[in-house]
Amino acid sequence: MDDTPQTKIEELGHLGLLTSLNKKFRFKEKIDMLLPKTSNNQKLSHGEAVLGMIYQSLGFGDGRLYFAKDFFANKPLDLLFGKNLDPAMFNDDVLGAALDAISDYGATNFFSNLAFRTLIENNLVSKFVHLDTTTHSLHGRKYEDGRIKVRFGHSKGRPLLPQVLQSLVTTDSGLPFWTSVHSGNLSDKDVFTSSITAVENFVKNISADLELGFVADSALYSKKFLLNKNINSDWVSRVPESIKLAKELVARRHSEVPWTKIDQDYKYSEHRVTYGRVEQRWVVVNCRRSRHKELATFEKHLKKEEQSLAKKALSLVRKVYPKKSDIFSEIRKLKKAHPHFDVQFQILGNFRKGQGQRPKSARGHRLYISYEKNKELIEKIQNRKGKFIVATNILDTKRLKTSELVEHYLGRNSNIERCFRVLKDSALRLNQIFLKRIDRIEALLTVMTLCLFIHNLGQLELRLGLSKTSKTIPNQVGREVSNPTIKWAFQAMQNVVRVKVDLLYQTFQEFKGIGDIQRKIIGCFGGYARQIYGFP
């Protein structure tokens, strides 16, 4: 009998936290209900395959599907999946079959049924939701066209690559519950309107009493949207300054506007406006910090523009022009390049080129140039700095106070924009796509959005756990905080391993790398997490 102990070290890291979230919210079981297996040729269910992709994506691993079996080679699969599995099971055929099942079910319906029902079960649905789009660049050369077309378009990432467009709807706390993928050359205006209509119909089928309000940027605001009778929801949108009335409102002098103060940074002025045959509340918002920053940037650019104008003017007055039309052409270019200055010129008499200059030419003209700042235009531009207009169709201030209206719009920067940053985070690599079939690309983006949902849900759990226990953990610079990011918590758990020792037909295990910080983090995720990491 061999009494030599066999030791195996397995990397658990923060994957135990993801496992506890899966157990608490029953993601694997819900996925298996939505995507039941129709054949027994593989031992993994679709729920386990999707869960494997989530572990690989949020586990700081390589996002390519064919690396999944290598990623799981040194992981404790019995803890992550509740049973012993062979890492070779997570091959690209199995994962591809799961993507095909998502595509056959409908990628948008799959994610929305899973995420939105989880929000309802845990009372996490907010009255106002946030809508926006992003683009995902693809690195291949040939893609199979279908309902979604890989095309060049207005890029929010790398403009030299073909792309697809993704729309996302999140709650106030940044939890996504709706996503759809579109052709890469579509505009936000078209996608916003269709997304709102689709979300309204989806929510109505699940809960007839639930009404959502949509918050979006200025791409939503157009006469076409306002006149769309199929949209019945409340909305909050930024007003584009291309509208004449909006230009006039933001260009007013500060002293002429009756401001109402919200806090030290924000104040507003409210107006009732009818635009696109819809009566609305327009709120002109002034941000003190943004105004100071934008004014400083404008003055810097104005100074550079004046220096450039002086240099070009000096070059022009030294020349001799054979025709007056050449002078007019140069002056037009000069005025167009320097719109903040009034440029005056005068054509002088006939001149020859200086002695010894080649080639010789006939008599020509010279000009005299003078310029000064366009004070009226500059004042209008300075008045616009730090201001923007938010509109809503909710006219009753009791239903939505003006300060709450501004807060809802400003909140979009703290949730949906952060969602896009997580999707494109180089450490997580959620948006790395190495597929050719467009149906699988759509399904994979849906899985990546599910990763985002679990990521943000974990961050909410972490912060609520710290808040309930009045605990803090050190952030990246060593300062104690009660609102750390989940990414930082994941990195703090990186060194946690399970050591298994097989001796005399018995198995002993111990977890290493768990200190005070790790215990605080694990405690925020409840009993499941404590059980996974081996302490009560």
Per-residue model confidence (pLDDT) at position 432: 67
Structure tokens at 436: 């050719």
User: Which strands form 506-512's sheet, in the order they lie side by side?
Assistant: 6-11, 497-503, 506-512
Higher-pLDDT residue of 161 and 448 is 448
Per-residue model confidence (pLDDT) at position 456: 94
Name every residue whose Cβ is closer than 8 Å to that of residue 102 and which is 6 or more positions away in sequence. Answer: 35, 50, 110, 443, 446, 447
**Phi/psi of residue 2, each to 5°?**
-85, 115
- The Cα 238–Cα 225 span in angstroms is 13
User: What is the per-residue pLDDT across 33-70, written as a single tens digit (0 to 9) for each?
Assistant: 999 986 666 678 999 999 999 999 888 876 677 788 88
Higher-pLDDT residue of 530 and 158 is 530
- The Cα 245–Cα 365 span in angstroms is 46
> Cα–Cα–Cα angle for 377, 389, 395, nearest 5°?
145
Per-residue model confidence (pLDDT) at position 49: 93
Give which of 526, 394, 445 is closest to 167, Cα–Cα: 445
Per-residue model confidence (pLDDT) at position 421: 85
345: Cα within 13 Å, side-chain hemisphere:
21
- Helix ranges (H only) for 182-287 are 188-206, 223-226, 244-250
Average pLDDT, the chain: 88
Q: State what percent of residues in the chain have pLDDT above 70.
A: 91
Under DSSP, the state recorded for 2 is: -
Per-residue model confidence (pLDDT) at position 168: 94
60: Cα within 13 Å, side-chain hemisphere:
15
**pTM value > 0.75:** yes
